[in-house]
Chains A and B, each alone.
Chain A
Amino acid sequence: MSNLIEEIRNLPYTVISHTNMLWNKTGTWRHVKPYYENKIAQCTSRCPCGNDIAEFILSASRGEFQKGYEIIKMKSPFPGVCGRVCYHPCETYCNRGEFDEPIAIQMIERFLADYMSDKERIIPEIIERKNKRVAVIGTGPAGFSCAYHLALKGYSVVLFEAYEKPGGMLRYGIPSYRLPKDVLDREIKDILDIGIELKTNTRLGNDFSLDNLEEYDAVYLAIGANKSRSLGLSEESADGVFSGLEFLERVNSGERVELGKKVMVVGGGNTALDTARCAIRCGSEVTVVYRRSRNEMPAWQEDVDDALEEGIKFVFLTSPTEILFEGGIFKGIRCLKMELGEPDESGRRRPIPIKDSDFTISGNNIIVSIGEEPEISFLNESFEIKDKKVITDFSGFSGVRKVFAGGDLVYKSSATVASAIGFGRSGAESIDFFLKNEKIKVKEEQKITKFEDLNIDYFKSAGRIILSELAVNERIKDFSEIIGCVSSEEVIYESERCFTCGLCTMCDNCLVFCPDMAVKRKDTGYEIDYDYCKGCSICFEECPRNVISLEREIKL
């Protein structure tokens, strides 16, 4: 008894241990196992080019602009182009949009491209040159993207271009107030500098046919949709009457197109809007005539707003029935009023003519921009055609020996620059598999980080950067770019707003919260010591950006 009292007196007054608890391997308690798994940010999942958006913005937020630029260039050769003309579905689906305002992703992309414009840009080194040749026909965004990725993989690529200069729709379709030509020229030069051969003034169907391409191991057809649809009325080829693409091509080639005082543009798509906005910059009064209402316009809504701001008038629910001439000179159009009926296969309400509602709109010119379609007259019957477009399988294979196709030429393409760039890249992947005699693989679906996967407790509200724009009266004087540059400070601010969804930024939250100190920091990420991780999932809960995944673990 007294010995025990002695022992008690010798005890410290509180429980203290100078040894450690490493013997207690709490990992044996675990039935749920956390692990690090970067995921695809929702913006990236919606980027037709497949840009690693969260990643390049993370670099931008650290001021590593060249690195950010190079991350984009892994997926797209056109950051300067997309940074201006893309309809940025990334921003529409930016998770931050559900929190306060989406990140100005497009502006950041543009900044990175512009930042690098006067810097030495690394020409990617081709690691393994392959002894195979690929012909890419068409130098729009799809053709260039495909050529770029094939060249990076080591293939010899020859680009065929019908026009005098490369770029396709980027050059001849998109007005320079949206895409200055020097930006396009720079990015095209960078692509060609990898070592791609370019043959201009070489038109498929005129100067060569697919049969002439036997020497190539594969062909990528990306000739786009460069034929304007016609109204189907007589005299469409008369003086004073233009097709949308023809007009844009002449304006974009630097030609000073003489227009009258009053110009009518028929159509409601993006080309119609570009046409109308070019026409107002030529000094005319412009009226857009569209057979449905504003809600049904396929044009990008922001462009419609800009057009309205610039003073373009819209006449909705109106369809031309006759082109009117007086002494061989265009005088106006006869129109029918329309009303909206049931939705058609596009989901938009169908315009139905109202009987006896004829009226006349007078003017000096009419530009018909009611849609574009590919010129496919030179394709033989081996190609499967639907709606005047080529049908391919999931890989872009046309069904015709060694011929792949992409961009606006193919059925159900979405007629945007970014989607064409995406087509080009996946086409290059498919051709690579094909030339290696491998089965073409479908990309595995990756997990996407959505807003509800984030822990927004860790983010502060911060407003989106405001972009400077030319005043309307300045804008319509000429073809100057509308949206101004931003400073590197502004880009860093905006990039820091990014949640970096699904991508580890090494914020240390997991390390700080782990009650078992089982998270170890390494140079490029973290490791979990599963001897001690008891699977409490706190790291999973506290990760702001959904980088940690859980899996059920069954132990016997």
Chain B
Amino acid sequence: MEISVKEEKINNQQSLLLEGTYAVAYAVKLCRVKVITVYPITPSSAIAERLAEMVGDEELDAKYIKVESEHSAMASLIGASHVGVRTFTATSSHGLAYMHETLHWASGARLPIVMSNTNRSLGSPWSILAEQTDSLSQRDTGWIQFYCESNQEIFDTLIQAYRIAEQVYIPAMVNMDAFFSTHVLENIVIPSQEMVDSYLPEFEPQIKIDLNKPSAFGGVAPGDSYFEFKYKMEEDMLKAVDVAVKADNEFEEIFGRRYGIINCYLCEDAETILVMTCTAAGTGRVVIDNMRKKGKKVGLMKIRLFRPFPSEAIINVLKNKMKIAVIDRNISRGVGGIFAQEIRAAFYNTKYHPPIFGFIAGLGGRDITPEQIEKALNYTIESDYPDREAYWLDVDV
């Protein structure tokens, strides 16, 4: 499950030096999105700006709606998606929080909207820097959620997100770190339009607004069917795990890159596994290499797909390990890091539970340093069981 890159495929593709925000915009363009609504917010604004330029320069044939709030941005896409066109919006932090109500509606109405979210801290205190609590707070809204490490991964995941969302009729959110991703330049391989078209067919939903056949959407589900609709949604959401795996494999066939819904590094013979997400996972790999040199049997698992939660894949990797250390750049106050909680919950009904150590680090955009990561791993290796839900790195450990 290592990152797979097939050189001969890559060679056919052009490459550009892009910030994460622009990577999103280029992906949206290649996906031939038809309606874009954005309300700008740092550090997501450049996505809106670049897309506005593309639409203004007629590089991208889309309707660009300037809205007065994120709530309206999503509400407008709900309308547009019902018409049966591909839609996109970008937001962050408070903007995402403001969308909350409409996020439920979009997923409930089974609209495969794709949104990029740049993970940014929520006030108060005020901060515009990286933290994942914004999107993780939206985990119960019924959206597919991806967490991306590199700008290339952001670019590729966005294209995959449409393919997955449109197969299961569930909206998808592609998350990335504020500034560490959004404002850092990276060489991005940009595939041709033909390649993307072959991967992503024109969006043709089974059910859409049809002027010749008037119908009402989102009406009252009488008491005897609301429950059933929710059951059906959950069934399809769970299916989305396999759909995501398949979409990743199909992506590799055309573009030569694959990421996995989870991604493992030196896990096979490892006794202790470090679980991380997004850009910090890159730092994690360096630490793993260093500790391996010191003879410590450690490995790293990066979680890329968070909703639906790929419990089976995660348990398969972690079940025979001695100990697990999860570093969360997020906090659900009162229970600790959210990834750690989710992994614990996934394990609960299995026979063997490796001890799961939760660590909090990097809130409000603070660097997650190699020293901190090593400290977390050493603490995990040296302790039998955790005595609390989460250790705050540099404070508790």
Q: Do A and B bind each other?
A: yes
**B368 shortest CB reach to chain A, Å:** 40
Chain B residues, CB < 8 A from A15: 109, 217-219, 221, 229
Q: Quick one: given A20-B216, A21-B216, A21-B219, are A14 and B231 in contact (CB under 8 Å)?
A: no
Contact indicator B207/A13 (Cβ below 8 Å): yes
A172-215 contacts to B (CB < 8 Å): none
Q: What number of A residues sit within 8 Å (CB to CB) of B?
A: 14
| Contact in complex: B228, A14 (CB < 8 Å) | no
Contacting residues, chain A, for B215 (C-beta < 8 A): 16-18
Q: Which of B111, B207, B213, B214 contacts A12 (CB 8 A)?
A: B207
Given contacts A8-B228, A8-B231, A11-B225, contact A16 B110 (CB under 8 A): no
Give the residue name and chain of the A residue nearest to B216 (CB): A17
Residues of chain B with a CB closer than 8 A to A7's CB: 228
**B207 and A4 contacting across the interface, CB-CB below 8 Å:** no
Within 8 A of A (CB), among B158-215: 169, 206-207, 213-215
Nearest neighbor of B170 in chain A, beta-carbon distance: A13
A11 to B233, CA, bound (A): 11
Q: Determine the distance from Cα of A8 to Cα of B221 in the docked complex, in whole angstroms.
A: 13
Name the B residues within 8 Å of A21 (CB-CB).
216, 219
Distance between Cα atoms of A18 and B216 in the complex (Å): 6
Q: Is B49 an interface residue (CB 8 A)?
A: no
Could you mark each residue 1-37 of chain A with 1 if its beta carbon is under 8 Å from any beta carbon of chain B, else 0? Answer: 0001001110111111110110000000000000000
Cross-chain contact of B109 among A4, A14, A17 (Cβ < 8 A): A14
Q: How far is the CB of A126 from chain B (nearest CB, A)?
A: 55
The verdict on B289 contacting chain A, using a C-beta distance below 8 Å, is no
Which residue from A4, A17, A18 sits with its C-beta under 8 Å from B228? A4
Chain A residues within 8 Å of B236, by CB = 13
Q: Are A14 and B216 in contact (CB under 8 A)?
A: no
Q: Are B219 and A13 in contact (CB under 8 A)?
A: no
CB 8 Å contact bits of A445-456 with B (1 = contact, 0 = none): 000000000000
CA distance A203 to B126 in the complex (A): 90
Q: Which of A15, A16, A18 has the most CB of B within 10 A?
A: A15
Number of interface residues of B (CB under 8 A): 21
Chain A residues with Cβ below 8 Å from B292 are none
**B213, B219, B225, B235 — which one has the most chain A CB atoms within 10 A of its CB?**
B219
Quick check: B232 and A8 within 8 Å, CB to CB? yes
Per DSSP, chain A at the interface is: loop
Specify which of B206, B213, B229, B232 is in contact with A18 (CB 8 Å cutoff).
B213
Minimum CB–CB distance from B209 to chain A (whole Å) comes to 10
Distance of A15 Cα from B229 Cα, bound (Å):
8
Determine whether the beta carbon of A11 is less than 8 Å from that of B229.
yes
Would you give the shortest CB distance from A20 to chain B, in whole angstroms?
7
Task: Report the minimal beta-carbon distance from B215 to chain A, rounded to whole angstroms.
Answer: 5
Residues of A within 8 A of B206 (CB): 13
- Say how far A455's CB is from chain B's closest CB, in angstroms: 18
* Chain B residue nearest in CB terms to A17: B216
Cα–Cα distance between A21 and B215 once the two chains are bound (Å):
10
Chain A residues, Cβ within 8 Å of B221:
15
Q: A7-B228, A8-B232 are in contact. Are A13 and B216 (CB under 8 A)?
A: no
Knowing A7-B228, A8-B228, A8-B232, the reply to whether A13 touches B217 (Cβ < 8 A) is no
Q: Please indicate which of the listed interface residues B206, B213, B214, B216 has the most CB atoms of chain A within 10 Å of its own CB.
A: B216
Would you call B217 and A16 a contact (CB within 8 A)? Answer: yes
Q: Identify which of residues 66-111 in chain B touch chain A, using a CB-to-CB cut-off of 8 Å.
A: 109-111
Q: Which residue of B lies closest to A9 (CB)?
A: B232
Q: How far is the CA of A17 from the CA of B229 in the complex (A)?
A: 14
Chain B's nearest CB lies how many Å from the CB of A529?
Answer: 18
By a CB distance below 8 angstroms, the chain B residues around A4 are 228
Collect the chain A residues with CB atoms within 8 Å of residue B213's CB.
Answer: 18
Chain B min CB distance to A97 (Å): 31
* A4 and chain B: residue at smallest CB distance: B228
What is the distance, in angstroms, from B113's C-beta to the closest C-beta of chain A?
A: 13
Whole-angstrom distance between the Cβ of A18 and the nearest chain B Cβ:
5
A7's nearest neighbour on chain B, judged by CB, is B228
Least Cβ distance of A184 to chain B in Å? 57
Question: A16 contacts which of B207, B228, B235 (Cβ < 8 Å)?
Answer: B207
B228 touches A13 (CB 8 A): no
Shortest CB-to-CB span from A552 to chain B, Å, is 29
- Chain B residues in 8 Å Cβ range of A14: 109-111, 169, 207, 217-218
Q: Identify the interface centre among A4, A14, A17: most chain B CB within 10 Å of its CB.
A: A14
Q: Nearest Cβ distance between residue B28 and chain A, in whole angstroms?
A: 24
B219 contacts which chain A residues (CB < 8 A)? 15, 17, 21
Contacts of A8 in B (CB 8 A): 228, 231-232, 235
Please give, as numbers and ranges, the residues of chain A lying within 8 Å of B218 by CB-CB distance. Answer: 14-15
The answer, among B110, B225, B231, for a CB contact under 8 Å with A13, is: B110
Q: Which residue of A lies closest to B236 (CB)?
A: A13
- Expressed in whole angstroms, the Cα–Cα distance for A14 and B170 within the complex equals 11
Enumerate chain B residues within 8 angstroms of A16, measured Cβ to Cβ.
207, 215-217
B226: nearest residue on chain A (CB-CB)? Answer: A15
**Nearest A residue to B206 by beta-carbon distance?**
A13
CB of A70 to closest CB in B, whole Å: 44
In angstroms, Cα B238 to Cα A522, docked, is: 53
Cβ–Cβ < 8 Å partners of A12 in chain B: 207
A11 touches which one: B109, B214, B217, B232 (CB < 8 A)?
B232
Contacts of B109 on A, CB cut-off 8 Å? 14-15
| Residues 223 to 248 of chain B near chain A (Cβ within 8 Å) | 225, 228-229, 231-232, 235-236
A104-139, CB under 8 A of B: which get 1 and which 0? 000000000000000000000000000000000000
Bound: A12/B219 CA distance, A: 13
Given known A16-B215, A18-B213, contact A11–B228 (CB-CB < 8 A): yes
In the bound complex, how far is the Cα of B232 from the Cα of A174, in angstroms?
A: 87
B-side residues, CB < 8 A to A, are 109-111, 169, 206-207, 213-219, 221, 225, 228-229, 231-232, 235-236
Seed contacts A8-B235, A14-B218; 7 additional CB < 8 Å A-B pairs:
A8-B228, A11-B229, A13-B110, A13-B169, A14-B110, A14-B169, A15-B221
10 examples of A-B residue contacts, CB within 8 angstroms: A9-B232, A13-B207, A13-B232, A14-B111, A14-B207, A15-B217, A15-B219, A16-B216, A20-B216, A21-B219
Q: Which 10 A-B pairs have the closest CB atoms?
A: A14-B110, A17-B216, A18-B215, A8-B228, A13-B110, A17-B219, A13-B169, A8-B232, A16-B215, A14-B109
